[in-house]
Amino acid sequence: MLFTSALGGSQVSVVADFCYLYSSPSFEEVIEFEGSPLKLEHTDTLSVIEDDGSTEFIKVKVEDKNIEGYVYRYYVTYNSPSQEVYPVFNGRVTKDNAVIYDLNKEPTTYRGKNGQGIYLYAGFSGKESMNAVAIVLEDGTLYYGFMDTKEIAPNGVSGGLITGLVVIATCLTIIFLLLFMKKKKRH
């Protein structure tokens, strides 16, 4: 079993919108505080008393209320909830050594690599000279800045391809209609 001493006084933070504290390692009995169920809010920090990893619950202490109980393991994290949240990438760098610009659109020493994932946090505009991006640097930090539109591309199907397919489908429909009408006139 892991106890607080073994965990070095570990703490967990609530990552769910809210959760309850239970009197046993189950969902059966919610602990009450001042006549209401004790509701833990997002980012609340709890001291870990016991976590042996064998159950779905962690025994914790709510320090400011001096109450011990169990919290559902998947509603908390040993990591700080204020840690950097990495976005789901929706674009990519299309050129090696692509310059990354700061928020004032001044060049930095940071560079992107061909195929590297980026997050286009203001969407993608092919008409703009630069697009706002979030990119993970070599040291693992998330950097917000801009990149040259010619050196990046959104993931997924391009608008030009969709337009082309619509035009082709429309042309084929017109051709088939003309052929059908021509055959009908002969009969």
Are residues 50 and 97 part of one domain? no
Are residues 130 and 69 part of one domain? no
Are residues 104 and 73 part of one domain? no
Are residues 146 and 102 part of one domain? yes
**Mean pLDDT for the chain overall:** 84
Count of all residues that appear for the chain in the document: 187
Answer whether residue 169 is part of any domain.
no
Are residues 115 and 72 part of one domain? no
**pLDDT at res. 93:** 95
Are residues 73 and 24 part of one domain? yes
Question: Residue 44 sits in a domain of what CATH number?
Answer: 2.30.30.40
Answer whether residue 54 is part of any domain.
yes
- The CA distances from residue 43 to 34, 40, 100, 123, 142, in Å, are 21, 9, 33, 29, 21
The parent domain of residue 142 ranges over 91-154
Global pTM reads: 0.44
Are residues 72 and 126 part of one domain? no
**pLDDT at res. 87:** 66
- Segment 81-89 mean pLDDT: 62
Non-local CB neighbours of 134 within 8 Å, separated by 6+ positions = 87, 118, 119, 121, 142, 143, 144
Are residues 98 and 62 part of one domain? no
Are residues 100 and 40 part of one domain? no
Higher pLDDT, 101 or 6: 101
Question: Domain total for the chain?
Answer: 2
The DSSP element (H or E) to which 128 belongs, if any, is none
The answer to whether residues 1 and 58 touch, using CB atoms and an 8 Å cutoff, is no
Non-local CB neighbours of 26 within 8 Å, separated by 6+ positions = 57, 70
